[in-house]
Amino acid sequence: MLPGSVVVIASNRKMHRNGDQHFPFRQSSDLYYLSGIREEMTVLVIWRGSYSDQYKEILYLPEEDPVKTRWEGPQISQEDAGANSGIIDVRVHTTLLKDLRELFENSSHVYFGTPRPGDDPESISNEAEIRRSLENETARLQEHLISPLMTRIRMFKEYEEVEMIRRAIEATGKAFIQSLSIMQPGVREYEIAAGIISEIYKSGCNDLAFEPIIASGQNALILHYTGSRGICEKGSMVLMDFGADWEYYAGDISRTIPVNGKFTKRQLELYNACHRVLNKAMKLMVPGKLMQDFHAEVGALFEEEHIKLGLYSMQDARDNRGKTPLWKEYYWHGTSHSIGLDVHDPFDHEMKFAPGMVLSCEPGLYCKEEGIGIRLENDMLITANGAENLSAGIPIDPAEIEELMHR
């Protein structure tokens, strides 16, 4: 934080869905990272004075509502919020605007958690309401977003965070094994999803890291397919991309399996090609590499495999030099993203891989002509010497998958 600055990070209230129903609430990841508090309508204020030893942290909770308490249970107390967060100064919202006005008088900068709201009604968040109430006071201050500072912190996972991610991956692996026992010709995609969700909750997880992708047959050619209404047909494959949430930390794996428990010859050729690229790509995840350079290296690996598979020739690839690489016609997304409190955690693409980062490695092969989509994804911890595959215990070898499905 710059000297003479105030940070304001505010979580929203539960979002209304229909009637008297609300969407499930999840705390702002930045606010949770800094405080560990899960209550809706929480506000965190951090002030830094003009000198390095001048700091103040204040946590604001909504006033307790007896009617809401009767229906939903008690909210966290100020005492418990202080004990859980380590923040000594915990107050209620009634003093928030007054306190901020006083802090702004002695500041030159203000950091917010979200961009300045526009006219879109969807942008009228709790933070937007605070900003609009203080427009006169913030007019003379230089505004910044806190996200660049938070990105640099959240990119590097501490030991405890990695342990949370390991737990999420462990639960994700159990859910994958469960899916194998459900898979058979004629089963609906949502039945597979239901088995996965059930197993994730049985493992003691808070939630899913994201809505599961269960894509059979040509649905696997839709990268973020979430319809889950299709029928798993005999002779086809199912692409599954899902993850558990353990104490707000995400796991994220992808596997592609044959519906009837046996890969066809062509399916196995395509699968093995993607699997070989994954194994080589994981070894390329070393400190000092930019994510875009890593992706280009994986693309070059795919070019070799595509040519072997007959998707295009070496001459076609040579003739296409200087244009969009042909491998991109069969590989439609990036190879990696950061994983943490969000399944796509903040990441600065100008920074090189470094120890402490947790990143996905997810090569994919999408062949529209053959109606086949394959994605294989592991979660990797960058270390001083390379990368550790955190999802090494989740079956991926095709022979092992066939054996497990047969069993």
197 and 95, same structural domain? no
pLDDT of amino acid 328: 97
Tokens representing residue 353 in the block: 């891989």
pLDDT at 118 over 60: no
When pLDDT is averaged across residues 7-33 and rounded to a whole number, the result is 92
pLDDT at 68 over 60: yes
pLDDT at 51 over 90: no
pLDDT digits (tens, 9 = 90+) for 372-403: 999 999 999 999 999 999 999 999 999 999 99
DSSP assignment of 138-173 equals HTTSEEEESHHHHHHHHTS--HHHHHHHHHHHHHHH
pLDDT of amino acid 116: 65
The reported pTM is 0.94
Long-range own/partner contacts, residues 223-226 (CB < 8 A, 24 or more apart): 223/332, 223/333
pLDDT digits (tens, 9 = 90+) for 218-261: 999 999 999 899 999 999 999 999 999 999 999 999 999 999 99
Going along 125-276, which residue ranges are E strands? 142-145, 207-208, 213-216, 237-242, 244-246, 249-250, 253-258
**Pairing between β-strand 21-22 and β-strand 89-92 as defined by DSSP bridges:** unpaired
| CATH number of 284's domain | 3.90.230.10
20 closest CA partner among 85, 77, 72, 75? 72
Q: Taking the CA atoms of 400, 401, 402 and 407 in sequence, report the sign of the dihedral they define.
A: positive
pLDDT at 84 over 70: yes
264 and 225, same structural domain? yes
Between 13 and 292, residue with greater pLDDT: 292
128 — pLDDT class (breaks 50, 70, 90): confident
Residue 263's identity, in one-letter code, is F
Residue ending a domain, choose from 102, 126, 154: 154
Per DSSP, 16 falls in state: E
Residues 6+ apart with CB under 8 A from 114: 125, 127, 128, 145
User: Can you say whether residue 358 is alpha, beta or left, with left for phi > 0 and alpha for psi between -120 and 50 degrees?
Assistant: beta
399 and 322, same structural domain? yes
pLDDT at 117 over 90: no
Tokens representing residue 49 in the block: 């004075």
200 and 143, same structural domain? no
142 and 224, same structural domain? no
When pLDDT is averaged across residues 28-32 and rounded to a whole number, the result is 96
pLDDT at 145 over 70: yes
Q: Answer whether 35's CB lies under 8 Å from 44's CB.
A: yes
pLDDT digits (tens, 9 = 90+) for 280-327: 999 999 999 999 999 999 999 999 999 999 999 999 999 998 899 999
Q: Measure the CA–CA gap between 241 and 21, rounded to whole angstroms.
A: 29
User: Coil, helix or strand for 92?
Assistant: strand
Q: Which domain holds residue 400?
A: 159-406
125 — pLDDT class (breaks 50, 70, 90): confident
Average pLDDT score, the chain: 95
117 and 201, same structural domain? no
Count the Cβ atoms, other than its own, within 10 Å of residue 87.
Answer: 19
pLDDT at 123 over 80: no
177 and 98, same structural domain? no
φ, ψ of residue 124 in degrees (nearest 5): -80, 80
Q: CA 249, 255, 256 angle in degrees (round to 5)?
A: 155
397 and 293, same structural domain? yes
Distance of CA 58 to the CA centre of its chain: 28
Residue ending a domain, choose from 104, 135, 154: 154
Q: Measure the CA–CA gap between 394 and 255, rounded to whole angstroms.
A: 9
pLDDT of amino acid 373: 98
Residue ending a domain, choose from 154, 172, 206: 154
pLDDT at 122 over 60: no
pLDDT at 121 over 60: no
299 and 179, same structural domain? yes
pLDDT at 119 over 60: no
User: Coil, helix or strand for 22?
Assistant: strand
Any bridge partners for residue 43, and if so which?
10, 60
394 and 257, same structural domain? yes
Residue 163's identity, in one-letter code, is E
352 and 283, same structural domain? yes
145 and 93, same structural domain? yes
When pLDDT is averaged across residues 206-210 and rounded to a whole number, the result is 94
| CATH number of 26's domain | 3.40.350.10
How many structural domains does the chain have? 2
**Could you give the count of Cα atoms lying within 13 Å of 102 in the half-sphere of its Cβ?**
7
Q: Answer whether 365's CB lies under 8 Å from 331's CB.
A: yes
When pLDDT is averaged across residues 150-166 and rounded to a whole number, the result is 97
161 — pLDDT class (breaks 50, 70, 90): very high
190 closest CA partner among 222, 227, 225? 227
Tokens representing residue 112 in the block: 């917010």
